[in-house]
Amino acid sequence: MKFPTPLVQARLLRRYKRFLSDIELPDGSVHVAHCPNPGSMMGLAEPGSLVWVEPNDDPRKKLKFGWRLAELAGGHLACVDTGLANRVVAEALAARAIPALAGYGTHRAEVRFGEKSRVDFLLTEAGRPDAYVEVKSVTLCREADWAEFPDSVTARGARHLEDLARMVADGHRAVMLYLIQRTDCARFRLAADLDPAYAEAFARATAEGVEVLCHEAQITPDGLHIGGALEAQGSD
């Protein structure tokens, strides 16, 4: 997935009201940029840090910049736009670039399932059970090279796990796919201390047959692409 408009480097002044951020461009001008991330963004929104923003000239958009990447120590990058995870996975599914799901030739996005949910992708192929795939964007890292999810309480995320478990009970495949949207992590685990209820829902769902996949994202200022599979703690 390539960014449609070249990104511009800026300095983050502050993030506020969840979806807004003030940025300073190299020419000294200050602008309000859209922050496409409803989570806590722990460790990614420090004032003064370097970020990458995408400009736009769409007259329908009030804000002329969208925050896409955060620079990390050691030259690493994190994608703060949670909505891009599904686009990266959609491209990977179309290219059959996710080995565990490569046997499916058709995928549809945002299919209603469960009681109040839509699954990110429904995969179908003759002779195979339908596969319901939910995607989560992972941007939290608090220790060494461990990526963690979630970065705040997510009752919606727990409900998705319960819905996936129901699909398994109905004879389908159900997959929780965690996309690690930062380049400084090599392993994945749950942040059970931040949301014990989610960790409990995860344990129940995996015990009932929900599969867990974890893939890294290859991130540059030009775009994002699916990377290799990573170790996921507690997914056995």
| Residue 25 shares a structural domain with residue 140 | no
Query: pLDDT tens digit string along 13-27?
Result: 999 999 999 999 999
Last residue of some domain: 27, 56, 79? 79
Report CA 90 to chain centroid distance, whole Å: 12
> 202 and 111 in one domain?
yes
Q: Is residue 203 part of a domain?
A: yes
Range of the domain at 204: 84-232
- Confidence tier at 60 by pLDDT (50, 70, 90): confident
Does the structure show a pLDDT above 70 at 235?
A: no
State the pTM of this model: 0.94
- Predicted confidence band at 233 (pLDDT cuts at 50, 70, 90)? confident
Which amino acid makes up residue 74?
G
Position 234 pLDDT exceeds 80: no
Domain count, the chain: 2
pLDDT band at residue 113 under the 50/70/90 scheme: confident
Q: Which is more confident, 6 or 234?
A: 6
| CATH number of domain containing 15 | 2.40.50.580
Q: Report, as an integer, the average pLDDT of 138-164.
A: 95
At 116 the pLDDT is 74
Whether the ω angle into residue 150 lies within 30 degrees of 0, i.e. cis, is yes
pLDDT digits (tens, 9 = 90+) for 182-229: 999 999 999 999 999 999 999 999 999 999 999 999 999 999 999 999
Question: What's the mean per-residue pLDDT of the chain?
Answer: 95
Q: Which of 181, 182, 221 is nearest to 6 (CA)?
A: 221
Residues 46 and 65 in one domain: yes
d(CA 149, CA 152): 8
